[in-house]
Each structure stands twice: as structure tokens, then as C-alpha cells.
Amino acid sequence: MALKLNLHTQPDVPLEADCISPDKMQSLSKHEIEQLIIFHGNRQVPLKDFFECSGEFDGEINIDGDLSRIKHIGAAMSFGKITISGSVGIHTGAAMTGGEIIVEGDASDWLGPEMYGGKITVKGNAGHMVGSGYRGSTIGMQGGEIIVHGNVKNETGHVMRRGLIVVGGNSGDFTGVNMVAGTIIVLGEMGIRTGAGMKRGSIVCQTKSELLPTFTHSCDYQPLFLQHYFKYLKSIGLAINDSLFNGSFERWCGDSVELNRGEILLYAGK
């Protein structure tokens, strides 16, 4: 039986709750879990002041309620599973190294920043800076997967180095800005300045997009590796058009202000 947390009181200022993580809750009794410390503004309060606990931790945590003002859920987690029935606040899954987070609603900004491994699935939309590096960091996401079924805002995959980010809807501006390596797949439309300053890595989009002048058209081709990605994405419930499997992609190289070893693949039709 999974541990269940239910938000019984909406906080008037955001809560910082990095204790909501399998790593922090394993081998604790219900009473000990209730006494875990969270930050309410600059005050430290026990978890039970805002969450009602039931069940027992068996590697899985289910959280009910609107968590859009709860920050750092699953931060630095390395195993287990967190399921959130509603929306969730910023820094969810920050620097996580393993395990899985499933968000049935929307996620706010900074989803999975600087994560090393594991998987985050968001059924709704996500905010800015998905899988990015924190300000000042030269390396962002270093592994794992972030799957967002809806839209995301700006700077998705900023300075990411490894891993996969998939956006089922549209992405905002600066998708893959300064990315070092890794893969971003956008099934909707992308905003402007995609891949600005990217060194390596792949950004794949199902629709045409206006690119920076520092990207040059290399060729049109049918990348075999994308078929594996699309097959996988279809299997996890994303709407993949069958024409993508055998379609042709424009390959754009860039960013020439950097190493020029990155690529943006835009679907060119059959």
C-alpha cells in the first residue's frame, strides 16, 4: 500500500517540501513522516501542518490536492515513484537521479532542472525552464527523461547535456538554448530562437520553424534513429502521426556561433 499525502490546507505562501521524496521517507514511521520539516516562507513547520498522511511507504507516494504552491517535490530522489493527482509547483524533481514522478495536472517552472536520471511525466502543461540548468550553471539536465504531454514555455532544455525531453504540444522561445548535447523532441510548434548557442545535440520538431541565421541547411533525409524514438513515444501514449515514421526531415546545423555540431531536424513531409 502506497503512502498517501493529502494537502488539507492551502499555504498562503509557497511551501518548500524537498522532504517529500522516497529517499527521505523510506523506513520512517507515519509519525516520523508527519514530523518531517518543511519551509513555510521562512518558518520551519512539520509536514502534518499542511498534509494528512495515511498508508505506509512501500516505495510509492501518492499526493492529492492542488500542489501548485508546493516546491521541490521529489528533489534529489534516487528511487521509487511519486504520483501527483493535481498540479505541482516549481523545482519538481530538481537534480533527481532516479525513480519516477507522474503529474496528472500541470507542472510549474523549473521542472527537473539539473536532473541526472529517472523519469518525469506531466500529463498537462509545464512552465519555463524544463530540464534546464540553474542560472550560472554551464550544465543542465544530465540524464533521464522528461515527457510533457501538453505545452511548455521558454528555455526548455537550457544547457542540457544528456537525456531526452519530449513535448507533446508546443514549446516556447529558446528551446534548447545553449544545449551541450541530448535530445529534445517537440511534436507541436516551437517559438523563436530555437537552439541559440547550442554546441551539440538534436532538436526535433514535427512542424516547420523559423530558425536563426546562424543555422545552415545541410540536407533532407530520413533519420533511422527517429523511428525508434517515435515508436517509443507512441507506446507511452503520445499522439504520433504515422507519417512521421517514414517522413523526410530537413537537417539544419548550428549554432555556428558555437561549435556548429548541433542539429535541428524539421519534418519536411513525405
Residue pair 179/199 in contact by the 8 Å Cβ criterion: yes
Least distance (Å) between residue 81 CB and another protein: 26
Closest alpha carbon to 159 in 186, 195, 212: 195
Measured distance CA(45)–CA(222) in Å, rounded? 56
Task: Pick between residue 143 and residue 188 the one whose CB is nearest to another protein.
Answer: 143
Q: Helix or strand or coil: residue 163?
A: strand
Task: Pick between residue 65 and residue 140 the one whose CB is nearest to another protein.
Answer: 140
Our finding on whether 39 is near another protein (CB under 8 A) is no
- The secondary structure element, H or E, covering residue 103 is strand 100-103
Least distance (Å) between residue 137 CB and another protein: 4
Candidate ranges 28-36, 42-50, 101-109, 130-138; the one touching another protein (CB under 8 A): 130-138
Our finding on whether 44 is near another protein (CB under 8 A) is no
Measured distance CA(39)–CA(141) in Å, rounded? 26
Our finding on whether 42 is near another protein (CB under 8 A) is no
Q: Is the dihedral of CA 204, 258, 192, 110 positive or negative?
A: positive
Our finding on whether 137 is near another protein (CB under 8 A) is yes
Helices (H), the chain: 22-25, 30-34, 224-235, 243-246
Mark residues 73-112: x for contact with another protein by CB under 8 A, - for none.
----------------------------------------
Task: Pick between residue 4 and residue 161 the one whose CB is nearest to another protein.
Answer: 161
Q: Which residues bind another protein (CB under 8 A)?
A: 133-138
